Amino acid sequence: MRDVYFVLSQHFMLLDLAGPAEVLQIAIEHGAPLRLHMVAAEAELVSSVGLRQHQLEALPETIPDQALVLLIGVQNSKTNLQLPAARAIVRWLQNSFDPARHQLACICSGALLAADAGLLAGRRCTTHHELIARLQSAAPNADVLENRLFVEDGPIATSAGICAGIDLALHLVARDFGAELTQVIAREMVIWLRRSGNDPQLSAWLVHRNHLHPTVHKAQDLLSQPQSRRWTLAELAAQVHVTPRTLSRLFVQYAGLSPHDYQQSLKLALAQQLLANPNLSIETVANEAGFGSARDFRRVWQARFGQLPSEGRKA
């Protein structure tokens, strides 16, 4: 069981908390081994919309190994991050958080708390576009990236404002528990899935899921399963109880590409992951990614990336 700590301070942004918390709670309902905690340096807080949060847990004296700590942003951060309770969080991070044993996710202005604790030095990070200059000042040795939804650098991830926390939470679920669970969560929350932190592995499985058509989603779910199955259009259409012509039309209309092109993008994304293992031959990568042959794999890869798979592996 992995512990997840949502760290709140006075006038916390309600959606910064609620969005990621709902993502992880739904993950738990589908079997993810997570345990959520709402913690703060004060027993009672007021959110950005005036909703009072009672019976919060205290900041833990020690953070369990492999725990995930989420720093939630606040309203009017220039003032509210200077309040005593917020400064107590900074001291707690300095004393208790260990990047070698824990993971950190910062939502919006939560990155400023991490910067004040010295946790962003030497790392790539981001925050809300209105806070970029302040983050650069607070973490002069960090590589602060603008115009990014979220950035992950080792055990520390940071996100832009408000809804970007949901994007980051979905990314964390995909990373730790797989894209299939992420798809289930996003569909349950009715989230458009075109947003990612420039992560091609994530986008391949999620970028074309920004629609609500159940037949296309069912076909995409089948195609997202292990790629050793090489679906034909006729087989796929039979599984979702439509004609091949209808499935092709629905796919283009709602997903924006053909079933063949969608399956091809998944194969290439899986191949990219497999190529990271130097012990796998090109032939093995091609087979496990679902290509008919190594020759077919090389042809498709070169058409997409302008280089051979072996050159991509070196890069």
> CATH no. for residue 138?
3.40.50.880
Residue 145 CA to residue 155 CA, distance in Å, equals 17
* One domain, residues 16 and 132: yes
User: In whole angstroms, how far apart are CA 174 and each of 24, 179, 180, 275?
Assistant: 11, 5, 8, 19
Residue 315 binned pLDDT confidence (cut-offs 50, 70, 90): low
Of 126, 155, 176, the position where a domain reaches its end is 176
pLDDT in tens, 115-162: 999 999 999 999 998 899 999 999 999 999 887 888 999 999 999 877
Same domain, 225 and 314: yes
Count of domains forming the chain: 2
Check pLDDT > 70 for residue 304: yes
H/E element holding 81?
A: none
DSSP string, 255-288: ISS-HHHHHHHHHHHHHHHHHT-TTS-HHHHHHH
Q: Are 35 and 1 in contact, with CB atoms under 8 Å apart?
A: yes
How high does pLDDT run on average in the chain? 89
Domain-embedded: residue 237: yes
State how far the Cα of 53 lies from the Cα of 16, in Å rounded to an integer: 14
Same domain, 170 and 235: no
Tell if the pTM clears 0.75, that is, is over it.
Answer: no
Q: Are residues 130 and 249 in the same domain?
A: no
Which residues 6+ apart lie within 8 Å of 134 measured at CB?
A: 78, 112
Q: Counting beta carbons within 10 angstroms of the beta carbon of residue 51, is it exposed (0 to 12), middle (13 to 18) or buried (19 or more)?
A: exposed
Instruction: Write the DSSP symbol of residue 43.
Output: S
Query: Which parts of 18-117 are beta strand (E)?
Result: 34-40, 45-46, 52-53, 57-58, 68-71, 103-107
Backbone angles phi, psi at 252, to 5 degrees: -65, -40
DSSP structural state of residue 178: -
Cα 163 from Cα 170, distance rounded (Å): 11
Same domain assignment for residues 9 and 115? yes
Q: How far apart (Å, rounded) are the C-alpha atoms in residues 5 and 56?
A: 11
Angle between helices 259-275 and 294-305 (to 10 degrees): 100
Q: How confident is the model at residue 11 (pLDDT cuts 50, 70, 90)?
A: very high
User: What value, to the nearest 5°, has the Cα angle with vertex 250 and ends 292 and 231?
Assistant: 20
116, 101 Cβ separation under 8 angstroms = no
User: What was the pLDDT predicted at 230?
Assistant: 79
Q: Do residues 158 and 217 share a domain?
A: no
Given 120, 151, 176, which residue is the final one in a domain? 176
Q: For 13-27, 57-71, 87-101, 279-293, which range has the lowest pLDDT when averaged over its residues?
A: 279-293
Residue 195 lies in a domain: no
Q: Quick one: 19 and 150 in the same domain?
A: yes
Residues 270 and 289 sit within 8 Å (Cβ to Cβ): yes
CA–centroid distance for 14 within its chain: 20
If asked whether residues 36 and 172 sit together in one domain, one would say: yes
Beta strands, E only, the chain: 2-8, 34-40, 45-46, 52-53, 57-58, 68-71, 103-107, 124-125, 143-144, 150-153, 156-159
Is 191 a domain residue? no
Please state which of the ranges 7-11, 191-195, 234-238, 261-265 shows the lowest mean pLDDT: 191-195
Together in a domain, 154 and 216: no
* Whether residue 170 is found in the same domain as residue 218: no
Asked if pLDDT for residue 202 goes beyond 60, the answer is: no
- Pairing between strand 124-125 and 156-159? unpaired
Do 97 and 238 lie in one domain? The reply is no
Same domain, 42 and 159: yes
On whether residue 183 sits in a domain, the answer given is no
The domain that contains 221 carries what CATH number? 1.10.10.60
Q: Is the pLDDT of residue 193 over 70?
A: no
Gyration radius of the chain's alpha carbons: 22
- The band of 206, judged by pLDDT with boundaries at 50, 70 and 90, is low
Structural domain containing residue 283: 211-315
